[in-house]
Structure 1
Amino acid sequence: MKMKVMVIFLALTMFAAASAQAARVLKFGHIAPTKIENKDFPMHKAALAFAAHVEKETGGEIKIEVFPLGQLGNERSMLEQVQFGTLDMMDCTTAVMSNLIPQVGLLDLFFLFPSKEVAYKVLADEEFKTVMDALMPGMGLIPIGYAENEMRDFGVRDRTITTPEQMKGVRVRVMDSPVFLESFRALGANPVGIPFPELYTALQQGAVDMQENPIPTSVMMKFTEVAKYLTRSSHSLTCLYKMVSRPVWESLTPEQQQIFLDAAKIAEDINRTENTNMRNELEKLAVDKFGATIADLTPEERQAFHEAVLPVHEKFADQVGVIPNDPKFGKYAGKRYYDMIVEKVNQYSK
């Protein structure tokens, strides 16, 4: 009898140990909301899809807990946590990443991408990824995919802006990013640093004349109540890298790493599709509910904006330097990062 009890005890102990080993839990942080006005926010919906795929395909061996809304800290804080291995993974905007890896800030340059479709092709290009992804492991980061919050647009209180000349003297709220500050200065505007939660009031009271966010964000935050003149400027893609802490990545088996890569692609597709659907729906709401007007830039107007910010492109291109002269980078070894990106943009714009 004692022997039977001992066998059962050992079996239960081994089962418990196996269960504990199977339930490895990783934390995934991002700053996007979960819902706005009862609508699932695309970036969070994609993060949940990533977590579900990993848990399913690893048979429950790995579970991903998603922490939205900056619950684990702001982006800069989370980036440092992932870098040093105290946070397992995150979605991080290129604007924040550029403080650590300046080269990714090139992706924020105004009027670099003629459309988000071209941007997607550049980001997926294997030569581009070989060059850019090589910047990250040395910083403790492993890039496995992308997230996004759409192309950014103009929203103005009292006029429609479709030319650089109309930007002169306009007070525009911008995020604290050198690329954004200098780009608007190059257009003749006066960039103003106002915290995002205070933007509605600033627009309402006339402290700023203009804001620049994707139109869906402007509608959901009700900026279109007080800044009704919208332009699909698509001047910058709000791109985020989906990154895993290097120690975590290296602890995964090759099979698990592939599951993470597959999950990242699933999340990427969901994020982009949901963004497009949300844009169509919320642009209609902006017009029907808020009485907004939406203008598009002609090819000539877009070219005028592009030419106006080219000095900013060149400044940052020189600042971040050249690709290492390493055979693995092929024909781009020794060339400027910026020139490689522009070549890819031109390739996929044809």
Structure 2
Amino acid sequence: MKHTSKILMATAAIGLIAGTSAAFSKDLKYAHFQSADLSSPKHAAALAFESCVEGKTSGSIDVQIFPASQLGGGSEIMEGLQLGTVQMAAVHDGPISAVYKPFSVLAIPYIFDDQAMAWSVMDGEFGDAMAEDMLAKTGIRMFGVADNGVRNFTNNVRPVAEPKDMEGLKMRVMTAPVWVTLVESLGASATPVPWPELPGALQQGVVDGQENGVTNIVNASLYQHQKYVSLDGHVFSWHAYLMSEDFFQGLSDAEKTAVTQCVEIAKTIHRGMTAAQDANATAILSEKGMEVVPVSPDQKAKFRAAAQPKVREFVVSEIGAEWPDRLDAAVEAYRNQ
């Protein structure tokens, strides 16, 4: 009888210890919008983050990944980050710009020459200043950015090689006014559509086309409803790695260090996968049955002349000249180094 009592007491003690350990584990809900497979840069990066953080913290942070918009669209996730109901997310440009307007400066088209320039600017003083400002104004911490792909126009009506070919097309854009301005400056009409609803909008003919990078075109099977893709590369689009500041401040110093280091690993994986797909755009999209329309430097100059001044004017009217001027200065500094 005494032996049985000792076993019961020992079992209870083990359960108490396990329960105490679980109680001190911090749940980190991590949302993103791509599918849950390793060919998706967002998901591959999220899995790497999960493994890295849980290993470095010995499980004191329990990372729970919610892919494919399971926790809602961009607007809901940004609200969740501010309220603390979502602890972390990789969010694209449009929803960020709707909450933190200065981010829309990155929608000024034909600014960056290539990934090397874009990464250097966003990893440098410009990106650091934006992260600090975002934190102060929204309560959301931005650790850094990874590629959402170099954005190109697709449609199901005709090849687009220069701005005049855009006239009359109904184009889906992200849910922020700056993207409406970009498309309308080229003569098309713009319809904001949340990312989860885009495939349906294309399939049903609500819009003729859209603009996205290769990763998203493939990941969401947009090629099934789009015949033409024009490689104009109008915007270097971003996924920002965001965290609720309240959650971050509730971490120990060691946990903060682990999260920061692991974001760097995730970001590097994310960038590499997306940039590789952009570099192989012609081969990848041709294989999917799309007609790839090359855009020559002279044609791209026409796109730039039509779109850049109008978008910059709109951005300045919304947020002032400080951030556009900072971006111009950062690009110029890169070119002169």
> TM-score, with normalisation over the residues of structure 2?
0.86
Alpha-carbon distance in 2 for matches of 1:22, 1:269: 30
Q: 2:34 is matched by which residue type in structure 1?
A: A
Instruction: Please tell me whether residue 303 in structure 1 is matched to residue 301 in structure 2.
Output: yes
Contact 2:223-2:289 at 8 Å conserved across structures: yes
Q: Which amino acid aligns with 1:28?
A: Y
- Aligned residue number for residue 331 of structure 1: none
Secondary structure, aligned partner of 1:118: helix
- Superposed counterparts of 1:277-316, under 5 Å: 277-279=276-278, 283-290=282-289, 292-298=291-297, 300-309=298-307, 310-316=309-315
Instruction: Report the counterpart of residue 199 of structure 2 in structure 1.
Output: 197
Which residue is equivalent to 2:21?
19
CA drift at 1:240 = 2.1
Alignment-derived partner of residue 31 in structure 2: 29
The letter for the 2-side match of 1:23 is S
Q: Which moved more, 1:164-173 or 1:94-103?
A: 164-173
Farther off after superposition, 40-49 or 300-309: 300-309
The answer to whether 1:178 aligns with 2:177 is yes
Alpha-carbon distance, 1:43 to partner: 0.6
Aligned to 1:329: none
Q: Distance in 1 between matches of 2:79 and 2:130?
A: 22
SS at match of 2:183: helix
**In the alignment, structure 1 residue 276 sits paired with structure 2 residue 275:** yes
Quick check: 1:103–1:320 contact (8 Å CA) kept in 2? yes
Asked if 2 retains the 8 angstrom alpha-carbon contact of 1:22 and 1:60, the reply is no
**SS in structure 1 at match of 2:141:** strand
Runs of 5+ consecutive residues of structure 1 not aligned to the other structure = 323-335
Q: Deviations over 1:12-52 (max 9, x none)?
A: 477335522553221111222113xxx62111110111111
Matched position secondary structure for 2:242: strand
1:100 maps to what in 2?
A: 99
User: Which stretch of the first structure deviates more once superposed, 67-76 or 127-136?
Assistant: 127-136
> For structure 1, which segment, 267-276 or 19-28, has the greater mean C-alpha deviation from structure 2 after superposition?
19-28
Would the aligned equivalents of 1:28 and 1:66 in 2 still touch at CA under 8 Å? yes
For 2:109 and 2:34, how far apart are their aligned partners in 1?
23
CA shift for structure 1 position 279? 4.2
Whether the 8 Å contact between 2:134 and 2:142 is mirrored in structure 1 is no
Aligned residues of 2:148 and 2:215 also touching (Cα < 8 A): no
Is 1:343 matched up with 2:334? no
- TM-superposition CA deviations, 1:268-295 (whole Å, max 9, x none): 1111111233445664243245162341
Q: Between 240-249 and 309-318, report the one with greater CA deviation.
A: 309-318
Q: Is the 8 A contact 2:31 2:90 kept in 1?
A: yes
The CA distance in 2 between the partners of 1:233 and 1:121, in whole Å, is 22
**Separation in 2, partners of 1:209, 1:134:** 37
SS in 2 for 1:293: strand
Q: Distance in 2 between the 1:23 and 1:118 partners?
A: 40
Change in 2 beyond 3 A, CA 1:287/1:41: same
Q: Would you say 1:123 and 2:109 are equivalent positions?
A: no
Pairwise CA distance, 1:74: 1.7
CA shift at 1:236, angstroms?
A: 1.8
Instruction: State, as a whole percentage, how many aligned pairs show the same letter.
Output: 24
Check whether the contact 1:84–1:140 (CA below 8 A) recurs between aligned residues. Answer: no
Structure 1 residues 229 and 246, CA gap change in structure 2 (3 angstroms)? same
Task: Summarize the alignment of residues 1-350 of structure 1 with structure 2, pairs less than 5 Å apart.
Answer: 5=6, 12=14, 15-16=17-18, 18-35=20-37, 40-193=39-192, 195-202=197-204, 208-225=207-224, 227-279=226-278, 283-290=282-289, 292-298=291-297, 300-309=298-307, 310-321=309-320, 336-349=322-335
Deviations 1:135-188 (A, max 9, x none): 224422111122432111122335432322332333323233211111111111
Q: How many residues align?
A: 329
Structure 2: where are the runs of 5+ without partners? Answer: none
Whole-angstrom distance in 2 between the partners of 1:14 and 1:192: 56
What is the rounded CA distance, in whole Å, between the counterparts of 2:21 and 2:78 in structure 1? 31
- 1:302 and 1:12 map into 2 onto residues whose CA distance is 67
